[in-house]
Chain A
Amino acid sequence: MTDPTPAFALQSSVVGDDLVVAVSGEVDMTTAPELARAVETISSQTRTVVVDLCGATFLDSSGLNALISAQRALLKRQVTLRIVAPADGIVRRVFEITQLTEALSVVDSLDDALR
Chain B
Amino acid sequence: MGAGELFDDYVGRRAAGARRGLVATVVVAVIVVGAVSTGLAVRQYRQAQHTALNDLRSRSVVAAAVVDAAFAGDVSALTAAAGSPSVVAADVASMSTYFHRLEAAKGALFNGGMGWVDRTGEVRVSTNRAAGAAPLNVADRTYFKQVLATGKPYVSAGLIGRSLGQPVVVIAVPTHAADGRVSGVLSASIRLQTVNSSRSELELGYAGLEIVDRNGRLILSRLARVRNVALLARVRREGTGVIASTHGLAGTGHDVVAYATATVPAWEIVIDRPRSGVFAAAWRSLELELGLVGAALVAVLGMVGFVVRRARRARGIQDARARAWSDLTRALAAASTPDEVAAALVKALSGAFPDAAAVVVFETVEGSHEVRTSDSRALRRVAGDPDALREVGRSAMAGRQTIQLERIPALAPVFVLSGRRLRAFHGLPMTVHGEAVGGLAVLRLSELALEESEWLLLASFAEQGAFALERSRQFEHDHDLARRLQRSLLPEALPTVAGVELSARYRAGGPGLEVGGDWYDAVRRADGILQLCIGDVIGRGVGAATLMGRHRNAFRAYAYECVSPAEIMRRMLRHLDDDELMITVACVSFDPYTGELAYACAGHPPPLLIADASRTVVKLEHAGSPPLGVAEPRAIREAKLTVGEPSTLVLYSDGLIERRGQNIERGIDLLGRVVADGPGRSIAELIERVTGALGPETDDVAVLVARLALEPVPFEVELPSDPSALPVVRGRLRTWLARRGIAPAEAAEILLAVGEACNNAVEHAYPDDLGTIRLFVDEDGETLRATVGDHGSWREGASGSERGRGIAIMRALMQTAQIETSSAGTEVVLERRLHGADLGAPAHV
The 8 A CB mask of B39-72 against A (1 = contact, 0 = none) is 0000000000000000000000000000000000
How distant is the Cα of A50 from the Cα of B596 in the complex, in angstroms? 38
Q: Which residues of A contact B557 (CB under 8 A)?
A: none
Contact with B along A1-22 (1 / 0, CB 8 A): 1111100000000000000000
- Chain B CB within 8 A of A94 CB: yes
Query: A41-69 toward B: CB 8 Å interface, digit per residue (1/0)?
Result: 00000000000000001101110110000
Q: What string of 1s and 0s marks CB contacts (under 8 Å) between B513-551 and chain A?
A: 000000000000000000000000000000000000000
Known: A5-B731, A28-B755, A29-B763. A61 touches B812 (CB 8 A): no
Contacts of A97 in B (CB 8 A): 808-809, 812-813, 842
Q: Do the beta carbons of B748 and A3 come within 8 Å of each other? A: no
B663 close to A (CB within 8 Å): no
A107 within 8 Å of B (CB atoms): no
Complex Cα–Cα for A79 and B590 (A): 50
18 other contacts beyond A61-B759, A61-B809, A90-B748, with CB at 8 A cut-off? Answer: A1-B591, A1-B732, A2-B596, A2-B642, A29-B726, A30-B724, A58-B748, A58-B751, A58-B752, A60-B756, A60-B759, A60-B806, A61-B756, A65-B805, A90-B745, A97-B813, A97-B842, A98-B805
Contact residues in A for B809 (Cβ distance below 8 Å): 60-61, 94, 97-98
B-side contacts of A1, CB under 8 Å: 591, 594, 596, 728, 731-732, 735
Which residue of A is nearest B755, CB measured?
A60
List the B residue with the shortest CB-CB distance to A1: B731
Asked whether any CB of chain A lies closer than 8 Å to the CB of B140, the reply is no
Please, how many angstroms separate the alpha-carbon atoms of A86 and B755 in the complex? 21
A29 touching B762 by the CB < 8 A rule?
Answer: yes
With A28-B726, A29-B723, A60-B756 as known contacts, state yes or no: A3 contacts B738, CB within 8 Å.
yes
A-B contacts, 21 listed (Cβ < 8 Å): A1-B591, A1-B728, A1-B731, A1-B735, A3-B731, A5-B734, A26-B727, A28-B723, A28-B726, A29-B723, A30-B726, A30-B727, A58-B752, A58-B755, A60-B759, A62-B759, A65-B805, A90-B748, A93-B752, A97-B813, A98-B805
List, in ascending order, chain A residues with CB within 8 A of B726's CB: 28-30
Q: Quick check: is B505 within 8 A (CB to CB) of the other chain?
A: no
Interface core residue of A2, A62, A65, A94 (most chain B CB under 10 Å): A2
Minimum CB distance partner of B642 in chain A: A2
Known: A26-B730, A97-B809. A2 touches B802 (CB 8 A): no
Mask of B591-610 contacts with A, CB within 8 angstroms, 1/0:
10011100000000000000
Q: Does B799 contact A (CB under 8 A)?
A: yes
Question: Which residues in window 757-808 of B have CB below 8 A to A?
Answer: 759, 762-763, 799, 802, 805-806, 808
Nearest to B724 among chain A residues (CB) is: A30
Which residues, 78 to 115 on A, are CB-close (under 8 Å) to B?
90, 93-94, 97-98
Bound-complex Cα distance A98 to B755 (A): 15
In Å, the complex CA distance between A36 and B511 comes to 69
Q: Give which listed residue, B594, B738, B806, contacts A61 with CB less than 8 A.
A: B806
Inter-chain contacts of A5 with B (CB < 8 A): 727, 730-731, 734
> How many angstroms from the CA of A12 to the CA of B380 in the assembled complex?
99
User: How many Å from the CB of B799 to the closest CB on chain A?
Assistant: 7
Contact mask B571-606 → A, CB, 8 Å, 1/0?
000000000000000000001001110000000000
Nearest chain B residue, comparing its CB with the CB of A88: B745
B473 to chain A, nearest CB (A): 56
A-B contact number at CB 8 A:
78
Please measure, in the bound complex, the distance between the C-alpha atom of A28 and the C-alpha atom of B726, giving whole angstroms: 9
B734 contacts A3, C-beta separation under 8 Å: yes
Q: Is B749 an interface residue (CB 8 A)?
A: yes
Chain A residues closer than 8 Å to B595, beta-carbon distance: 2
**Distance of B814 from chain A, by nearest CB (Å):** 11
| A57 contact set on B, CB distance < 8 A | 748
Nearest B residue to A64 via CB reads: B805
Q: In the complex, how many residues of chain A place their beta carbon closer than 8 angstroms to a beta carbon of chain B?
A: 21
For A62, the chain B residues whose CB sits under 8 A away are: 759
Chain A residue with Cβ nearest B806: A61
A94 in contact with B762 given A2-B595, A26-B727, A29-B726 (CB within 8 Å): no
Q: In whole angstroms, what is the CA distance A94 to B748 when docked? A: 11
Cα of A4 to Cα of B842 in the assembled complex, Å: 30
A94→B749 CA distance, assembly (Å): 9
Would you give the shortest CB distance from B773 to chain A, in whole angstroms?
13
- Give the residue name and chain of the A residue nearest to B803 (CB): A61
Q: Which residue of A lies closest to B811 (CB)?
A: A97
Closest residue of chain A to B751, judged by CB? A58
Would A30 and B723 count as touching, CB distance under 8 A? yes
Q: How far is the CB of B830 from chain A (nearest CB, A)?
A: 14
What chain B residues lie within 8 Å of A61 (beta carbons)? 756, 759, 802, 805-806, 809
A4 to B799, CA, bound (A): 33
Q: Which residues of A contact B806 (CB under 8 A)?
A: 60-61
Complex Cα distance A29/B734, Å?
A: 18
**When A1-B594, A2-B735 are in contact, do A65 and B749 touch as well, CB less than 8 Å?**
no
Cα–Cα, bound, A26→B723 (Å): 13
Whole-angstrom distance between the alpha carbons of A5 and B744 in the complex?
13
Query: What residue in chain A is nearest B731 (Cβ atoms)?
Result: A1
Taking each of B596, B752, B762, which has the highest tally of chain A beta carbons within 10 Å of its own beta carbon?
A: B752
Residues of B within 8 A of A4 (CB): 731
Which of the residues A28, A65, A90 comes within 8 Å of B799, measured between beta carbons?
A: A65
Closest-CB distance, A107 to chain B (whole angstroms): 20
> What CA separation (Å) do A26 and B275 show in the bound complex?
147
Which residues does chain A contribute within 8 Å of B723, judged by CB atoms? 28-30
Complex interface: chain B residues within 8 A of A30 (CB): 723-724, 726-727
B756 CB → nearest A CB, Å:
6
Inter-chain contact A60/B752, CB cutoff 8 Å? yes
Known: A29-B762, A61-B756, A61-B805. A3 touches B727 (CB 8 A): no
Find chain A residues with CB under 8 A from B738 CB. 2-3
Residues of B within 8 A of A2 (CB): 594-596, 642, 735, 738
List the A residue with the shortest CB-CB distance to B760: A61
Given A58-B751, A58-B755, A97-B813: A28 and B594 interface contact (C-beta under 8 Å): no
| Closest B residue by C-beta to A57 | B748
Q: Complex: how many Å from CA A46 to CA B97?
A: 218
**4 shortest interchain CB distances as A-B pairs:** A90-B748, A61-B806, A97-B812, A61-B805
What separation, in Å, do the CA atoms of A93 and B805 have in the docked complex? 13
In the assembled complex, how far is the CB of residue A106 from the closest CB belonging to chain B, in whole angstroms?
15
In angstroms, Cα B805 to Cα A65, docked, is: 9
A-side contacts of B752, CB under 8 Å: 58, 60, 90, 93-94
In the bound complex, residues from chain A placing their C-beta under 8 Å from that of B763 are 29
Minimum CB–CB distance from A67 to chain B (whole Å) comes to 11
> What chain A residues lie within 8 Å of B596 (beta carbons)?
1-2
Please, how many angstroms separate the alpha-carbon atoms of A28 and B591 in the complex?
24
In the docked arrangement, what's the CA distance between A29 and B696, Å? 58
Contact A65 B802 (CB under 8 A): yes
CB distance from B14 to the nearest CB of A (A): 88
Q: A64 — which chain B residues lie within 8 A by C-beta?
A: 805
Residues of chain B contacted by A28 (CB below 8 angstroms): 723, 726-727, 730, 755, 759
Contact B735 A3 (CB under 8 A): yes
Measured CA separation A61–B799 after assembly (Å): 12
A29 touches B808 (CB 8 A): no
A94 to B809, CA, bound (A): 7
List residues of chain A with CB within 8 A of the CB of B724.
Answer: 30
What residue of chain A has the Cβ atom nearest to residue B749's Cβ? A90
> What is the distance, in angstroms, from A112's C-beta to the closest C-beta of chain B?
23
Q: How far is the CA of A16 from the CA of B756 in the complex (A)?
A: 37
Among residues of A, the one whose C-beta sits closest to the C-beta of B728 is A1
Bound-state CA distance A29–B732 (Å) is 17
In chain A, what residue has the closest Cβ to B843? Answer: A97
Minimum CB–CB distance from A10 to chain B (whole Å) comes to 16
Query: Which chain B residue has the least Cβ–Cβ distance from A62?
Result: B759
Contacts of A90 in B (CB 8 A): 745, 748-749, 752
Interchain nearest-CB distance for A57 vs B (Å): 8
With the chains together, A90 CA to B755 CA distance in Å? 13
Q: Which of B735, B755, B759 has the most chain A CB atoms inside 10 A of its CB?
A: B755
B802, closest chain A residue (CB)? A65
